[in-house]
Amino acid sequence: MHSTAYIIRFTIVMTVIVAFVLALMVSGLKGIHTENEEVYNKKGILSAVSEQLGKDVNVMSNKEVQEIFGSKIEQKVVNAKGEELSADQIKVATGGAAAKAEDIDLAKEAKKPVDQRLLPIYVFKGNDNKNYNILYVRGKGLWDEIWGYVAMSEDWNTIAGEAFDHKGETPGLGAEIKENKAWYNQFTGKKLYDNTGNFKSVSVVKGGVKDAQHQVDAIAGATITSNGVDEMLERGIKYYEPYMQKVKKQEIKNQ
Amino acid sequence: MAEVQELTKKEPSSFSFGKAERKLITDPINDNNPVTVQILGVCSALAVTTLLTKAIVMGIAVTLVTAFSNMFTAMLRDYIPKSIRMIVQLVIIAFLVTVVELILKAVNYPIWKELSVFIGLIITNCILMGRLEAFAMSNKPWRSFLDGIGNGLGYSVILIIVAVVRELFGKGSLLDYKIIGPTSEYVLNTNQISWLSWYATNNLAILSPAAMFIVAIIIWVQRSRNRKLIDIS
């Protein structure tokens, strides 16, 4: 049998060694981890305009993603009043953590009251010389958070592309929002406003689409995730509405 | 303690790789498979087998952790105080799992993201604690290392079989290489080949129950073919 003193000494030595090695590894790999995370998020944004890229985002190297993101995307941040914020204003709002849309901690923003929230917009210049405005939405699925990027056409009404992601939806059911291309492609070409100009969003419905402009079919067996996407789009895009209206007015003036 | 030392004295001390060592690796793959015979580690077999890539990465991770945790425990076995041996074993496992997770996060971030909590949950995988207690605490490092490799492989083999079936029938692809499906992206386009027109991917294969069915079928086939396993319940 070992003495109590030996056991205590053993424990302390073991803990110190393990803690030291792990701490060393974490700080040593931190740079790579942050870059990987950044690229992962950027891939998410770019997959909303995947049809414009001509290449699958998932097979792109880190460098390619950073290059496309750097050269073709312009980042904006707006608030719920529709005002575009300058870099200094973003710094103040995030407590110095971010100066650009890509650096904003979006999970933190989702917890703020709506009137203080920062809303990122990524403007993608397509090969067809059109601008695609990618909006960010976030909501709740069945098990955890879901989020998505919706690319808007220049008319600020038609959806040009979309990409959803989730934290822990069921594979084969809720996770289809990310994986089933046939499902999420349903959103492409849908309209956000009805003919009289009222905001209507795109709803996810069960039992067949009746309104071809504003409805998509839900996923069988994943009612709560489908409802989550529905709610997320309606609430999330509505935050951007003041900004969208403002831009539209400006465009009419310029013409 | 005396008994343990006597046993270890008889073994050859070098890194020999004879019949007994080979058996350490082959035994857990068939006769003493951790998943199908000992029914350990089934939880993660359900969770990470929707895609073959995930299953392979998980298999590699578990094999590395079982091999090295077995080796470290065997190296330390004479110094580990018996009263806290479980905690020491857990610290070794948790340490290795964290190392594997940090490396995976750096090497392939999307896969790390997909496996999410299941890499961390290797810590609670019963195969690990089982091997440390049953084998590494009373064997030399080299033999323990081989035993860890064997058990890790035994686990990976089952995971890979389950994942092949689930991905092929549930998604029509293997390692994301599209094989059978209703669009022109697939090698076998069911819309164009008339004798395959009845085929549809089965979403049930992606859901968790499918893994249960497949594990059960593997157990059935294995027991009907392997005489040694008959009458072991």
- Between CA A162 and CA B149 the distance in angstroms is 44
**What ipTM, to 2 d.p.?**
0.80
B224 touches A at CB < 8 Å: no
Facing residues of A205 across strands? A217
- How confident is residue A20, by pLDDT bands cut at 50, 70 and 90? very high
Q: What is the CA radius of gyration of chain A?
A: 22
- Between CA B50 and CA B27 the distance in angstroms is 27
B45/B155: higher pLDDT: B155
Q: What are the pLDDT digits (tens) for A166-223?
A: 888 888 888 888 888 888 888 888 888 888 878 888 888 888 888 888 888 988 888 8
- Cβ within 8 Å, pair A6-B88: no
Question: Per-residue pLDDT for B1 more than 50?
Answer: no
Q: How far is B15 from chain A (nearest CA, A)?
A: 27
Give Cα separations from B62 to A131, A189, B54, B72 (angstroms). 47, 45, 12, 15
Q: What's the CA angle centered on B47, arms B231 and B25, to 5 degrees?
A: 50
Question: Per-residue pLDDT for B9 more than 70?
Answer: no
Q: What are the pLDDT digits (tens) for A158-168?
A: 888 889 998 88
- Between CA A26 and CA B173 the distance in angstroms is 36
A87/B116: higher pLDDT: A87
- Between CA A94 and CA A76 the distance in angstroms is 15
Q: What are the pLDDT digits (tens) for A39-96?
A: 888 888 888 888 877 777 778 888 888 888 888 888 888 888 878 888 888 888 777 7
Helix (H) or strand (E) holding B157: helix B141-171
- Cβ within 8 Å, pair A25-B80: no
Interface test with A, best of B72, B76, B82, B84 (most A CBs within 10 A): B84
- Cβ within 8 Å, pair B113-A171: no
Q: How far is A21 from chain B (nearest CA, A)?
A: 9
Question: Per-residue pLDDT for A16 more than 50?
Answer: yes
Structure tokens given for A225? 């995730």
B106 touches A at CB < 8 Å: yes
- Cβ within 8 Å, pair A172-B103: no
Q: What is the pLDDT of residue B74?
A: 92
Nearest to A231 by CA among A121, A148, A117, A151: A148
Facing residues of B168 across strands? none
A61 touches B at CB < 8 Å: no
Q: How far is A25 from chain B (nearest CA, A)?
A: 8
Helix (H) or strand (E) holding A38: helix A4-46
Structure tokens given for A187? 């959103």
Residue among A26, A37, A221 minimizing CB distance to B109:
A37
Q: What are the pLDDT digits (tens) for A124-165?
A: 888 778 888 888 999 898 988 899 999 888 888 888 888 999
Question: Per-residue pLDDT for B63 more than 90?
Answer: yes
Structure tokens given for B75? 């190296």
- Cβ within 8 Å, pair A32-B106: yes
Nearest to A230 by CA among A193, A189, A200, A194: A200
Which residue in A has a C-alpha nearest to residue B111's C-alpha? A40
Give Cα separations from B4 to B78, B81, B114 (angstroms). 10, 15, 43
Task: Give every CB contact of residue B229 below 8 A, 6+ residues apart in sequence.
Answer: B31, B37, B222, B223
- Between CA A209 and CA A80 the distance in angstroms is 31
Question: Per-residue pLDDT for B173 more than 70?
Answer: yes
